[in-house]
A and B are shown apart, each in its own frame.
Chain A
Amino acid sequence: MSATAETIADVEKLGDRYKYGFVTEIESETAPKGLSEDVIRFISAKKEEPDWLLEWRLQAYAKWQKMTEPNWAKLGYPPIDYQDSYYYSAPKQKDAPKSLDEVDPELLETYAKLGIPLKEQEMLAGVRNVAVDAVFDSVSVATTFKAKLAEAGVIFCSISEAVREYPDLVRKYLGSVVPQDDNFFAALNCAVYTDGSFVYVPKGVKCPMELSTYFRINAENTGQFERTLIIADEGSYVSYLEGCTAPMRDENQLHAAVVELVAHKDAEIKYSTVQNWYPGDENGKGGIYNFVTKRALCQGDRSKVMWTQVETGSAITWKYPSCVLQGDDSQGEFYSVAIANNMQQADTGTKMIHMGKRTRSRIISKGISAGRAQNSYRGLVKMLPSADKGRNFTQCDSLLIGDKCGAHTFPYIESQNRSARVEHEATTSKISEDQLFYCRQRGIGEEEAVALVVNGFCREVLQQLPMEFAVEAQKLVGISLEGSVG
């Protein structure tokens, strides 16, 4: 069965557009509604954090209170009442599970429904060679394949666990790439983040498997603020993937994550995202507000970071995974597919900050707009005076399906070095009637034809994904464009 055929079949079986829109009935423990120093102390205490971390949170909170929400993006939404959300929600469990057998079966069931087998046995049975950390609402519930990773010396655990077990590493790097007051949402995250993943790959180690985190917002009125920190020490390599889903709810839910990556000399990090938060219904009711700060520091010479993202969900996406290319000859790449259908709004892109000599960056962005959606690419390429012979290539393609949607491109280029070279290419086109007719004449139904043509349009990006996830992503492209034609 072809990926696209499967997609259609899947959707038909489910009879619903968003197949992850179920709610898990599970008892959870929540912090009082709203945001205050007390709530932050509550979160910190719940997590038995050291004093320095509580202080760090409170400091961020103080900064956040003086900041204002950014409004430069091409996004429209009613003001968010930050006091009307819960900032901590954890599935009730006596103690933190020590092994997978202690994880609540309801939770395991949830992840099975999402297609993420957490049971190591199942995974060993050959399903996927991927280590998974699953974050449910605010806390990390399970990390698989720990032993095998430990053997290689790779640390892969929840960031809460890392604070307990590897405090020096966390303290050294937390906030080192994205400063607390980098932006409004990052500051908020510092104050209230609840969990996320932590990865450390030691010198010279090639991580033996794909690492993956699955984020799931389940509880009502809950914000999810995860924090991810990945450090690749000299000469190491790691490939990491995050996936995200949430149930269908009429209210909007806030998601403000921070991801920091540090690549030392000759290290390489591949970071892939398949974002499929609930996008809201056709009329724009409900859906996740996704305000995310992701940044990589290519600190060492010849280090390399590659961001790949497939953004199909969320009512609002505000996200600019960036690379600070500090080391000489370091490289940053950004491959993005952003799909906005119905009433979705996406303002996404990247920043490439060239500092080191001969630093290179490459940006491939594919934006697809359908329904009444608005989809913007916003990118900054900056060549600092020190970036001798820096190179950038940007290719930015937009595809429109129907005539009520919009595509916008905002490329910013700042070059302060005359030997640097920046190239930018952009195209905007409507989905081709000729192509759709050709497919349909061959018996391919209209929606599947759209999925096929759009997958072709995105191919350059999708093929960057780890193989295990490429098929899933292709299906997602089809599903998220359901109902966009005809």
Chain B
Amino acid sequence: MLEINDLRVSVEGKQILKGLNLSVPAGEVHAIMGPNGAGKSTLAYALAGREGYEHEGGSAKLLGNSIIGLDPEDRAALGLFLAFQYPVEIPGVAGMTFLKTALNSMRVARGQEELSALDFLKLVRERLKSLGIDEAMLKRPVNVGFSGGEKKRNEVLQMAMLEPKFCVLDETDSGLDIDALKVVADGVNALRSPDRGMLVITHYQRLLDYIKPDRVHVLASGQIVKSGGPELALQLEAEGYGELLKETAA
């Protein structure tokens, strides 16, 4: 579903992704772990098409379509969703308006009818309920003054609303207390399906207790240096990156 081959990306003239290979089949959840500054968020932004993330080589395909060079909104329309490590505040724009604009833009891009105000409201309420989120959150401007946990929950709500084909979650677990972590994980798990793929970036094995990954990859210095099953995460938790990086450097 997601096929990345020898991807090279630079930011401000500095190469951060240095020939990255990764393949996530439909229906699978893969985790990416790796030390700070390894390039995990860079990978997420490069996939989403953020300006300033220069493509210098290699390929990235979503469902067989090359996404290199596409505008962010076109990648979103293809089904790519990024839950941000640091969700952005948009003053003055109510969450409800934001969601509705996003959903309808997406529907139009996919050749579907826009949802009427009523159908939209029905859908939002359904999603809010299943995620256990209070509707009041959507009356407030997007992410403005939200606590860290609220911001992350808002990301998961948007994900549930937009029903993407492929989700990249960038440290969606960081800053969450145990209960919030469960809510977020339940939300993510509810979206697991045979025709959806996920890439979960995290520092903590803890999240992977709730969201069981099919594969775990270690990203270091702009490359995937090791891949394995869920047990790899346990090993990293126990040993840290030190041993592993020494091993791969050798």
Binding site for B on A (CB under 8 A): 1-2, 4-5, 432-435, 437-446, 448, 452-453, 455-460
The binding surface of chain B is classed by DSSP as helix
Give the residue of A434, A441, A444, A459 whose beta carbon is less than 8 angstroms from that of B101.
Answer: A444
Interface: B158 (CB within 8 A):
yes
Contacts of A5 in B (CB 8 A): 101, 104-105, 108, 114
Is the beta-carbon distance between A457 and B50 smaller than 8 angstroms?
Answer: no
Interface: B51 (CB within 8 A):
yes
Contacts of A434 in B (CB 8 A): 88
Contacts of B76 in A (CB 8 A): 440-443
Give the residue of A438, A439, A459 whose beta carbon is less than 8 angstroms from that of B87.
Answer: A438
B residues 33-75 near A (Cβ < 8 Å) are: 48-51, 71-73, 75
User: B70-96 interface mask toward A, CB cutoff 8 Å, 1 = contact, 0 = none?
Assistant: 011101110001101001111111000
Is the beta-carbon distance between A437 and B90 smaller than 8 angstroms?
Answer: no
Q: How far is the CA of A458 from the CA of B90 in the complex (A)?
A: 12
Would you give 23 A-B contacts (Cβ < 8 Å), ordered by A? A2-B97, A2-B104, A5-B101, A5-B108, A432-B88, A435-B90, A437-B88, A440-B49, A441-B76, A442-B106, A442-B162, A443-B73, A443-B102, A443-B162, A444-B73, A444-B105, A452-B98, A452-B101, A453-B93, A456-B91, A456-B93, A457-B91, A459-B91
Is the beta-carbon distance between B77 and A437 smaller than 8 angstroms?
Answer: no
Interface: B19 (CB within 8 A):
no
Is the beta-carbon distance between B82 and A441 smaller than 8 angstroms?
Answer: yes
Contacts of A445 in B (CB 8 A): 73, 105
Q: How far is the CA of A339 from the CA of B43 in the complex (A)?
A: 37
Q: Using a Cβ cutoff of 8 Å, how many contacts connect chains A and B?
A: 91
Is the beta-carbon distance between A458 and B109 smaller than 8 angstroms?
Answer: no
Contacts of A433 in B (CB 8 A): 51
Which single residue of chain B is at the shortest CB-CB distance from A462? Answer: B92
Q: How far is the CA of A444 from the CA of B76 in the complex (A)?
A: 9
Nearest-neighbour CB distance to chain A for B60, whole angstroms, equals 15
Nearest-neighbour CB distance to chain B for A394, whole angstroms, equals 19
Give the residue of A1, A2, A438, A441 whose beta carbon is less than 8 angstroms from that of B90.
Answer: A438
Is the beta-carbon distance between B114 and A441 smaller than 8 angstroms?
Answer: no
Interface: B217 (CB within 8 A):
no
Of A440, A442, A448, which is in contact with the most chain B CB atoms at under 10 Å from its CB?
A442
Q: How far is the CA of A441 from the CA of B106 in the complex (A)?
A: 10
Is the beta-carbon distance between B101 and A438 smaller than 8 angstroms?
Answer: no
Binding site for A on B (CB under 8 A): 48-51, 71-73, 75-77, 81-82, 84, 87-93, 97-98, 100-106, 108-109, 114, 141, 158, 162
Give the residue of A441, A448, A453, A460 whose beta carbon is less than 8 angstroms from that of B72.
Answer: A441
Is the beta-carbon distance between A435 and B101 smaller than 8 angstroms?
Answer: no
Which single residue of chain A is at the shortest CB-CB distance from B116? Answer: A1
Is the beta-carbon distance between A1 and B104 smaller than 8 angstroms?
Answer: yes
Which single residue of chain A is at the shortest CB-CB distance from B83? Answer: A441
Contacts of B48 in A (CB 8 A): 437, 441
Query: Quick one: given A437-B51, A456-B141, are A444 and B90 in contact (CB under 8 Å)?
Result: no
Nearest-neighbour CB distance to chain A for B95, whole angstroms, equals 11
Nearest-neighbour CB distance to chain A for B9, whole angstroms, equals 16
Is the beta-carbon distance between A455 and B82 smaller than 8 angstroms?
Answer: no
Contacts of B84 in A (CB 8 A): 438, 441
Contacts of B114 in A (CB 8 A): 1, 5
Q: How far is the CA of A5 from the CA of B101 in the complex (A)?
A: 7
Nearest-neighbour CB distance to chain A for B70, whole angstroms, equals 11
Q: How far is the CA of A441 from the CA of B170 in the complex (A)?
A: 14
Q: How far is the CA of A442 from the CA of B114 in the complex (A)?
A: 15
Of A439, A455, A458, A460, which is in contact with the most chain B CB atoms at under 10 Å from its CB?
A439
Contacts of A432 in B (CB 8 A): 88
Q: How far is the CA of A453 from the CA of B49 in the complex (A)?
A: 20
Nearest-neighbour CB distance to chain A for B141, whole angstroms, equals 7
Nearest-neighbour CB distance to chain B for A16, whole angstroms, equals 21
Q: How far is the CA of A437 from the CA of B88 in the complex (A)?
A: 9
Contacts of B88 in A (CB 8 A): 432, 434-435, 437-438
Is the beta-carbon distance between A2 and B72 smaller than 8 angstroms?
Answer: no
Known: A445-B105, A456-B93. 5 other contacts (CB 8 A): A2-B97, A2-B100, A435-B89, A440-B76, A448-B105
Contacts of A435 in B (CB 8 A): 88-90
Is the beta-carbon distance between A443 and B106 smaller than 8 angstroms?
Answer: yes
Contacts of A437 in B (CB 8 A): 48, 50-51, 72, 88
Q: How far is the CA of A457 from the CA of B141 in the complex (A)?
A: 11
Contacts of B97 in A (CB 8 A): 2, 452
Query: Quick one: given A437-B50, A438-B84, A440-B73, are A457 and B104 in contact (CB under 8 Å)?
Result: no
Contacts of B102 in A (CB 8 A): 439, 442-444
Which single residue of chain A is at the shortest CB-CB distance from B97? Answer: A2
Contacts of B92 in A (CB 8 A): 455-460
Contacts of B90 in A (CB 8 A): 435, 438-439, 452-453, 456
Nearest-neighbour CB distance to chain B for A121, whole angstroms, equals 27
